[in-house]
Chains A and B, each alone.
Chain A
Amino acid sequence: MGFYPNQEMNMFRGLFHYVDRKSSLHRLDPRVKLLMLIPILLLAIAANNPLTLLVVFSLVIIIYVFSRIPLYRYKAIFTVGLLSSISFLLFGMFFYFGFYHYPGTPLTIWAWIFRPEDAQSLPIIGPIILALTQGRGIVLCYEGVLWGTVTALKFLIALFSGNWVVMTTKPKEILLGLNKLGVPIKLTFVAMTALRFIPIVMEEWYVTLNAQRARGMKFRRLNIKALLNAVIAILSTLIANSIRRARILALAMETRAFGSDQKKVSFKELKMTRVDKILAVTILVMIVFTVILILTYAYPYSTGYTL
């Protein structure tokens, strides 16, 4: 449960996204999970063929299914995923030509939306668009749609795979895993403290917003300047409160020997089971395989959709 008896405001439950299930995937060592990200992300970055990317994405979804994540948990990530995919697609459709097209590579134009010559007829916007698109204009083309799809897929793979690690691993375990993989303790400690205070700060944000509303502030009626001022006011309140907190926290930590010269030991231990070890080796092999794949099919062809 994550409710605040003191504040009686049940708004930030499950903030850590961690879904407690007993799947075998949940029980994997966090280092193995983080390791799993490597080949997935490598392929996502290097591959440009929509088919390859679709295969990788399906693999990620299969991992989700095996983790028995309940359907209602997908809502947030589906929304983000859908919105960003549509954005990438639209952007690619119209602006690929202006931003990314490399002269000499194939270009199948379906329709001209904004020719460079039209720039003069459109008062202010015209020259701006021209400048942004490197003087080429806006064009609806096949390669643009392809680029949009490919980029959307890459983003989705990164989003879903990263989100899976967070959904199936307790925050402390992720940090421990990172520690063992070489991230310095002070850094992970900072991350853990930040995580711990996120619900508090979010709640403060909500309360401060409401406090402003309760004093007559209507955010929708504001012009940009006033809105900016209001947001800055809220932010400065949050920052002031956070600084105040940090002072007390620092003192409290001193009284618990933080920063003493002794070597800091971790209470919880990460132990790799046999399954973990086998998986780790498999993944390492997969990484090598992926690198070879990339070097053979993608690297020599800087553009194109060979992988």
Chain B
Amino acid sequence: MEKALKNINLKINEGDFVLIAGPTGCGKSTLALCMTGLIPQVLGGEMEGTVVVDHKDTRNYEVFQIAQSVGLVFQNAENQLCSLTVEDEAAFGPENLGQSRKEIEKRVAFALESTGMTDLRPKYTFSLSGGQKHRTVIAATLSMLPKILVLDEPLSELDPVGCREVLETLRKLNEEQGITIILIEHKLEQVLGFPRNVVLLKNGEIISNGETSEVFRDSNTIEKNLGLRAPETLKFSYELIKRGLLSKPALSIDALEVSMPGVRSKLSLPNSVTTRCKERNSVSRNALIKAEELCYSYSDGTVALRDINLEIFPGEFLVILGGNGAGKTTLASLMSGQLKPTKGKVCIDGKDSAKYHIADLARTVGYTFQNPDCQLFCKTVKEELAFGPKHLGCTKEEVNVRVDEMLRMMHIEKFKDRDPHTLSRGQKIGVAVASVLAMKPKVLILDEPTLGQDFTRIKSLVRMLKLMNQRGLAVAVITHDINIAAEYACRVILMNQGNIVADGDPHDVFSKEDLMFSANLDVPTALRLSKMVGLPSMITVGEINEALWGSIQTRK
């Protein structure tokens, strides 16, 4: 039996803000569960050694007693909420402890105040946004008055606004209330400015532990060693250090700003800059999907989309960006025929979507949903891949040919007889994409395919999509991950409150900072870096490096 954690010796002091990072499967979640006594008391398993939390040995105290010292927030907020309203949720813990009503009221007020949720007190939990749901869970944990808060990948399914909300809340709790924060995350780009200490885990062992800038001094640590995505600022810092222009890696843009004047004087800026050329595979100018003055309103009258005019051409690789509630998923649903327009028209390969069944349109448009769990319904992966072609009317031989092809392409041959529900999230998404591609659509729409996954998975998925794109498949990715869009998109569509506010080359779109901010999105970090250095708008660090030093960056 492989040990999930090996020889962990870790000391965290009161008031620390610690980041625990590592690749998937390194044991971060197991460590979190050990810190609360859930391992070994509730989840069993064999545990050697001791875990002492707030002077309590986790073996000798009841879980509910340890719970009053340390709170644990899991990844998916939805599944941790058991009450109907925010208020009830915050009161749940103290109620269980048998506190007096006055005490409960005090704690609820404190918890909601600390997380900025006081105004949302009477709201139903299912009506909250992602960031609000997470803050509700944090509030529910806070009302137990713990000294330590452990959060297991809280940002994985949040958009930039949600991430900011949660991180600011954590900072406030740490600085104002003195609560020790242990944050387990791999979204380093957003997180790196906050924690003072970092613990790196790999294969169940601690490979590094110390102050943040010390731990990340080596440029190989993040990407090569751990397989995580290095924050843009850090990547640029490494490049500068390599050329002797900087001594210590900068963890945030502000930190880099400080050393900038000295750096700038030693840089030789090129006279002209060519931004990388877009490969625009317009095989024909006949649009695959055309939306004309498209409007969509819900049955109660709220308008979701207004006057959308959009064309998607064969062979394109485009990214649809926008914050929560912008209408991205609604637009994608309309483009695939799942929803029918309330006004205007959507033509899919010449067919009016309102007149055709979703299944008929599936020949042209493939669609993967945000939640992979809802798209897998067969008993084995092989059946799953065969589902689409079978229903499209392919012969048995053709179905088998396609299934084998997909198994090979997505590297999931070893899973072919497994039940899809037993796979990890990343593997499920791979199966979902494969099962849609097996129908050989002309355009593939993916709704937030990168949520909750680590960098290696995201890279391999996007690489595969690029490959299919080069073979003629049009790809539309809905995401709020700006850096992915900056790295891979040839065309970006920016949405805000039901309107398309920008459509074109990512360099142009991302430079419109006001537009980006009003759409609740962050500008790519590289954009700010390139401004700082004195270059025209570059959207990836790779471009900046290429412009400054002409290094050959392989476009992934």
Q: Check A248–B79 contact: CB distance below 8 A.
A: yes
Complex CA gap A237/B384 in Å reads 13
Q: Is B219 an interface residue (CB 8 A)?
A: no
Q: Is A9 an interface residue (CB 8 A)?
A: yes
Q: Check B359–A267 contact: CB distance below 8 A.
A: no
Residues A255 and B367 in contact in the complex (CB < 8 Å), given A208-B377, A248-B74, A265-B98:
no
Residues of A within 8 A of B141 (CB): 255-256
Scan B83-117; emit 1 where CB is below 8 A from any A CB, else 0. Answer: 11101100111111111110011001000000000
Q: Check A207–B369 contact: CB distance below 8 A.
A: yes
A70 nearest CB across to chain B (Å): 13
Q: Check B96–A264 contact: CB distance below 8 A.
A: yes
Q: Is B391 an interface residue (CB 8 A)?
A: yes
A29 nearest CB across to chain B (Å): 18
Q: Check B97–A257 contact: CB distance below 8 A.
A: yes
Residues of A within 8 A of B67 (CB): 254-257
Complex CA gap A195/B82 in Å reads 9
Complex CA gap A105/B42 in Å reads 65
Binding stretch for chain A, among B223-231, B256-264, B322-330: B322-330
Q: Check B62–A260 contact: CB distance below 8 A.
A: yes
Q: Check B374–A211 contact: CB distance below 8 A.
A: yes
Q: Check A212–B325 contact: CB distance below 8 A.
A: no
Residues of A within 8 A of B336 (CB): 214
A144 nearest CB across to chain B (Å): 40
Within 8 A of A (CB), among B333-371: 336, 338, 357-359, 362, 366-367, 369-371
Which of B93, B359, B375 meets A217, CB within 8 Å? Answer: B359
Residues A210 and B338 in contact in the complex (CB < 8 Å), given A2-B124, A7-B329:
yes
Residues of A within 8 A of B92 (CB): 253, 256, 258
Q: Check A8–B329 contact: CB distance below 8 A.
A: yes
Residues of B within 8 A of A260 (CB): 62, 64, 96-98
Residues A252 and B80 in contact in the complex (CB < 8 Å), given A6-B130, A214-B338, A259-B64:
yes
Complex CA gap A245/B77 in Å reads 11
Q: Is A192 an interface residue (CB 8 A)?
A: yes
Q: Check B79–A252 contact: CB distance below 8 A.
A: yes
Complex CA gap A245/B67 in Å reads 21
B414 nearest CB across to chain A (Å): 21
Complex CA gap A235/B378 in Å reads 11
Which of A196, A211, A212 meets B126, CB within 8 Å? Answer: A196
A7 nearest CB across to chain B (Å): 7
Residues A172 and B104 in contact in the complex (CB < 8 Å), given A3-B302, A212-B377, A267-B95:
no
Complex CA gap A262/B93 in Å reads 11
Q: Is A5 an interface residue (CB 8 A)?
A: yes
Residues of A within 8 A of B100 (CB): 265
Q: Check B98–A263 contact: CB distance below 8 A.
A: yes
Residues of B within 8 A of A256 (CB): 67, 92-93, 96, 140-141, 144
Residues A233 and B84 in contact in the complex (CB < 8 Å), given A213-B338, A216-B359, A218-B357:
no
Within 8 A of A (CB), among B33-76: 33, 36, 38, 42-43, 62-64, 67-68, 71-72, 74, 76
Which of B43, B81, B93, B327 meets A8, CB within 8 Å? Answer: B327
Q: Check B98–A196 contact: CB distance below 8 A.
A: no
Q: Check A214–B329 contact: CB distance below 8 A.
A: no
Scan A189-204; emit 1 where CB is below 8 A from any B CB, else 0. Answer: 0001101100110001
Scan A1-30; emit 1 where CB is below 8 A from any B CB, else 0. Answer: 111111111110100100000000000000
Q: Is B439 an interface residue (CB 8 A)?
A: yes
Q: Is B435 an interface residue (CB 8 A)?
A: yes
Which of B84, B124, B362, B374 meets A192, CB within 8 Å? Answer: B84
Residues A172 and B325 in contact in the complex (CB < 8 Å), given A256-B144, A265-B104:
no
Residues of B within 8 A of A288 (CB): none
Q: Check A251–B38 contact: CB distance below 8 A.
A: yes
Q: Check B439–A216 contact: CB distance below 8 A.
A: yes
Least CB separation from A266: chain B residue: B95
Q: Is B127 an interface residue (CB 8 A)?
A: yes
Q: Check A267–B108 contact: CB distance below 8 A.
A: yes
Residues A196 and B84 in contact in the complex (CB < 8 Å), given A214-B362, A262-B96:
yes
Least CB separation from A267: chain B residue: B91
Q: Is A236 an interface residue (CB 8 A)?
A: yes
Residues of A within 8 A of B443 (CB): none
Q: Is B436 an interface residue (CB 8 A)?
A: yes
Q: Is B415 an interface residue (CB 8 A)?
A: no
Q: Is A137 an interface residue (CB 8 A)?
A: no
Q: Check B126–A6 contact: CB distance below 8 A.
A: no
Complex CA gap A244/B68 in Å reads 26
Q: Is A35 an interface residue (CB 8 A)?
A: no
Q: Is B194 an interface residue (CB 8 A)?
A: no
Scan B122-154; emit 1 where CB is below 8 A from any A CB, else 0. Answer: 001111011000000100110010000000000
Least CB separation from B383: chain A residue: A233
Residues of B within 8 A of A204 (CB): 371, 373-374
Complex CA gap A15/B328 in Å reads 25
Q: Is B304 an interface residue (CB 8 A)?
A: yes
B71 nearest CB across to chain A (Å): 6
Q: Check B324–A6 contact: CB distance below 8 A.
A: yes
Q: Is B514 an interface residue (CB 8 A)?
A: no
Least CB separation from A243: chain B residue: B421
Q: Check A8–B359 contact: CB distance below 8 A.
A: no
Q: Check B38–A255 contact: CB distance below 8 A.
A: yes
Residues of B within 8 A of A284 (CB): none
19 contacts between A and B (CB under 8 A): A6-B129, A16-B124, A172-B84, A192-B82, A207-B374, A210-B358, A215-B359, A215-B435, A216-B390, A216-B391, A217-B391, A234-B377, A248-B79, A255-B71, A256-B93, A257-B64, A258-B64, A260-B62, A260-B98
The 10 closest A-B pairs by CB, nearest first: A216-B391, A262-B98, A260-B64, A257-B64, A267-B91, A252-B80, A256-B93, A10-B298, A233-B377, A257-B96
Q: Which residues of A contact B (CB under 8 A)?
A: 1-11, 13, 16, 171-172, 192-193, 195-196, 199-200, 204, 207-208, 210-218, 233-234, 236-237, 240-241, 244-245, 248-249, 251-260, 262-269
Known: A7-B370, A254-B38, A258-B64. 15 other contacts (CB 8 A): A3-B127, A5-B325, A6-B130, A7-B329, A8-B325, A216-B388, A218-B391, A233-B378, A237-B376, A237-B377, A249-B80, A251-B43, A259-B64, A265-B95, A267-B94
